[in-house]
Every structure is written in C-alpha cells, then in structure tokens.
C-alpha cells in the first residue's frame, strides 16, 4: 500500500499542509491509499467503468444499472459540437499543442453555453465530460488529416468513443478496456495542482468553464499531467534495457528530472502504476513489439535502485497509449477527458462550503522606501 512518511514540512509548494477538506478522495492515506469516495481505485479499475466512476465522483454513490444506462445515454447525447466551436477549432494550426486546443475549446464552450447559475453545474459538467473527446479529436483530425469528423458515435463508453473518433473505426475490446481503466485511474486525486487551481478559481464564485480552463493550464506542465508525454519522449529512443540504464544514468549525473517518476504525496509507490503497467504489458504482447515495455521496466528498476524513485501514474501510460496508436501529443488531453470529473466535483464541493482561498505570503522584498522623482533616477 502506498503511504506517506513524515516528510519534512516546509512552506515551499505548500507541501504537507492541509489546504481544506474533501470527501472526494484519499491520496496516500495510511490504511486506505487512493480511494474515490471510499472505494479503492484498484477495486474500481477491476469492477467498474469510467462512467460509473464519474457518476460516483459527481453524485456520491455508484449508479444502479438503470442510472448507469440513463447516464450513458445522456452523455452520448451531448457529444455534438456547436458550429461556432468547430469554426474556432478549424482555425487552430496543426502545430498547436492539443492542451492549448482543449483550453481554448473549453473557454469557447463557456462563451456559447455559459453557466449562468450554479443550478446549472451538473449540466455544464456532463456536457464537458461528453464533449472534450469531440473537441480534441475534431481539431486533430481536421488539422492533421483535413477531415471534418462526425463526433457523435454509438460507443457506449467515453474511452472507446475517443479511440473511435481518433482512428475512424471502433476500437478492439482490449483497447476499449484499457482506455476505460486509464480514465478511471486519472479521474480524481485530491488537492493536486490542477484541482487546486480549479478550487481557487471556484472560491471566487467564478463559473465552471473558468475553473476547468485554469485547471487545464495547470495540468499541461511536465511536472504534472504533461509527464506522460515527457515520459514517452524519454523512452521512445531507448534501444534496449542497457541503453535505458545508460540514458538514465547520464540524466541523473546531470541532475535532470526524470519525468514519470516521483510524487508530491506518495513516498514508495503510486497505486495506479501497477494497474496501468499490467495493461501495458498485455498491450505490448498484442502489439508484437515489446521494446517500449521492456525499457520501461528497466527504467523502473534502475530508478528505484539508484534513487528510490518510483513510477507515478504517468510513466506506464506512455507505452500503453503508444501501443494503442495514440499520438504522443494527445496523451495529456486524455488525462483532461478523465480528470474533468474530479475537477468539477471539487468545484461543486468548494461551492457548497465556500470561503475565498487567499493565503498569506512571507514578504522578502525591500523595505519601505519613497519614490525618487524620475529626473533624479538612474
């Protein structure tokens, strides 16, 4: 079980300090590990689908079969893109980063389908959950292949729907399942940087699209969600296990950060890693070339041996996504398609018991002084 230790607390990065309460998840808590509303993430990844998990996170309990059927039908009906949003997406160049596309897409949606009142919060949330795969794939396929795709598919599940839009055909059962598990693993993670961004924004009583747009910006960085793409860039040229060790040794020697390793809360392991690693191994077998899986395993062993650093949720996602034919730059946007469930639930939780988030700072600048007339400066 992944647990925290008594890490030295310091003000930097607010590490180790509680910044509020949540009933949504526990992260690295002794005896419970990673749970969403009390359910172990492993249990959910084995026995539930992403739509059930999103429902759980947003509404508090796992759905009954009828509730799940209705929820899936509702989400399916919300996949279409407004014409004005399509036009905006068509103007974004192919060399844009898809996270920037998603940030713009979310913001534009907020102009077209504004959350006028908090009474609309579930509606705007479900719309975002349903439409984010459409936004990213519409832009990707238009800018890269010159085609205007139909974003409404018959797929029951968001993960399969994403792959369908991306590849123009329904995915295999294995790929659909891995996407589903991946979305479950990424759905919620307490007060991580992007969620905290969303909550800070929510605490000013801002609208849901602003909260989520800000969160997308925070997730984009390589120290957070962007690490899955950075991990892919790291492993893609590793020829074999020995080469992987040599590359990492050089990076450690140069004191470079190895993306996909380490965590702000977990100390010994990230419970999501073992799950996605197992799926990556299955995908490698099906793919027929397991080099990326093997070098990833070698990286994991080497980093633990050298630095006691472990793979976080992002590392084996890199090879898993690659084996499913997903372009590297779409890795972090998939994280968004999942984490939007957690972000919006946190916004709702913040709103339900709000006080504006406004910490203090320790001033380290110059002492009080008076303005010198401009003619006397220099």
Ligand X SMILES: CC(=O)SCCNC(=O)CCNC(=O)[C@H](O)C(C)(C)COP(=O)(O)OP(=O)(O)OC[C@H]1O[C@@H](n2cnc3c(N)ncnc32)[C@H](O)[C@@H]1OP(=O)(O)O
Q: Catalytic residues, which ones? A: 263, 314
Binding residues for ligand OAA, total number by CB under 6 A = 7
Which listed option, ligand OAA, ligand X, none, makes contact with residue 350 (CB within 5 to 8 Å by class)?
none
Question: By three-state DSSP, how is residue 33 classified?
Answer: strand
| 3-state SS class at 280 | helix
Residues 6+ apart with CB under 8 A from 226: 99, 219, 220, 259, 332
CA angle 319, 321, 327 (to 5 degrees): 110
Residue that is written with structure tokens 């793919």 in the block: 287
> Does position 178 bind ligand OAA by CB under 6 A?
no
Per-residue x/- track, 4-33, ligand X (CB under 6 A): -----------x------------------
The binder of ligand OAA chosen from 192, 228, 296, 332 (CB under 6 A): 192
Binding flag, residue 189, ligand OAA (CB under 6 A): yes
- The site map against ligand X for 50-69 (x = CB under 6 A) is --------------------
Stretch that binds ligand X, among 41-49, 84-92, 252-260, 340-348 (CB under 6 A): 252-260
Residues numbered 211 to 240 that lie near ligand X (CB under 6 A) are 223-225, 227
**Residue indicated by tokens 């957690």:** 342
Return the number of the residue (214 or 260) whose C-beta is nearest ligand X. 260
- Choose among 203, 302, 187: nearest CA to 250: 302
User: Taking the complex as a whole, how short is the minimal distance between the CB of residue 69 and ligand OAA, in angstroms?
Assistant: 29
Q: Both ends of the chain: CA-CA distance in Å?
A: 61
Task: Tell me phi and psi for residue 104, to 5 degrees.
Answer: -65, -40
Instruction: Give the number of C-alpha atoms closer than 13 A to the C-alpha of residue 149, restricted to the C-beta side.
Output: 27
Find the shortest distance in angstroms from Cβ 285 to ligand X.
26
325 backbone φψ class: left, alpha, beta (φ>0; ψ -120 to 50): left
Q: Which residue is nearest to ligand OAA (CB)?
A: 192
Coil, strand or helix at 165:
helix
From residue 293 to residue 332, what is the string marking binding to ligand X with x (rule CB under 6 A)?
Answer: ----------------x--xxx------------------
Binding mask 272-311 for ligand OAA (x = CB under 6 A): ----------------------------------------
104 binds ligand X (CB under 6 A): no
C-alpha pair distances (Å), 223 with each of 29, 74, 194, 228, 296: 22, 35, 11, 10, 19
Which residues of the chain form contacts with ligand OAA (CB under 6 A)? 27, 189, 192, 264-265, 312-313
């Amino acid at each position: 079980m992944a647990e925290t230790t008594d890490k030295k607390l310091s003000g930097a990065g607010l590490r180790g300090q509680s910044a509020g309460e949540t009933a949504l998840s526990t992260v690295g808590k002794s005896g419970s590990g990673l749970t969403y509303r009390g359910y172990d993430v492993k249990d959910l990844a084995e026995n539930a689908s992403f739509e059930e998990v999103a429902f759980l996170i947003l509404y508090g309990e796992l759905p009954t079969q009828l509730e799940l059927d209705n929820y899936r039908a509702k989400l399916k009906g919300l996949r279409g893109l407004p014409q004005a949003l399509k036009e905006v997406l068509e103007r974004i160049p192919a060399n844009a980063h898809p996270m920037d596309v998603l940030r713009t897409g979310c913001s534009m949606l907020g102009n077209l389908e504004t959350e006028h009142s908090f009474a609309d919060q579930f509606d705007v949330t479900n719309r975002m959950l349903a439409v984010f795969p459409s936004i990213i794939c519409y832009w990707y396929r238009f800018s890269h292949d010159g085609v205007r795709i139909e974003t409404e598919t018959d797929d029951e599940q968001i993960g399969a729907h994403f792959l369908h839009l991306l590849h123009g055909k329904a995915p295999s059962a294995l790929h659909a399942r891995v996407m589903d598990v991946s979305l479950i693993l990424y759905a919620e993670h307490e007060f991580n940087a992007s969620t905290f961004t969303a909550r800070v924004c929510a605490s000013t009583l801002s609208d849901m699209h602003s909260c989520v747009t800000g969160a997308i910006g925070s997730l984009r960085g390589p120290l957070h969600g962007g690490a899955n793409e950075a991990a892919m860039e790291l492993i893609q040229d590793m020829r074999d296990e020995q080469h992987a060790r040599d590359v990492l040794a050089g990076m450690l020697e140069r004191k470079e950060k190895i993306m996909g390793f380490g965590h702000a809360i977990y100390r010994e392991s990230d419970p999501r890693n073992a799950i996605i690693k197992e799926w990556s191994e299955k995908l490698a077998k099906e793919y027929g070339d397991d080099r990326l899986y093997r070098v990833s395993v070698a990286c994991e062993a080497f980093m633990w041996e050298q630095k006691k650093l472990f793979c976080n949720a992002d590392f084996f996602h890199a090879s898993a996504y690659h084996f499913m034919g997903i372009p590297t730059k779409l890795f972090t946007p998939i994280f968004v398609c999942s984490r939007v469930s957690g972000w919006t639930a946190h916004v709702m939780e913040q709103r339900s018991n709000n006080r504006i988030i406004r910490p203090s700072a320790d001033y380290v600048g110059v002492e009080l002084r008076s303005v010198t007339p401009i003619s006397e400066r220099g």
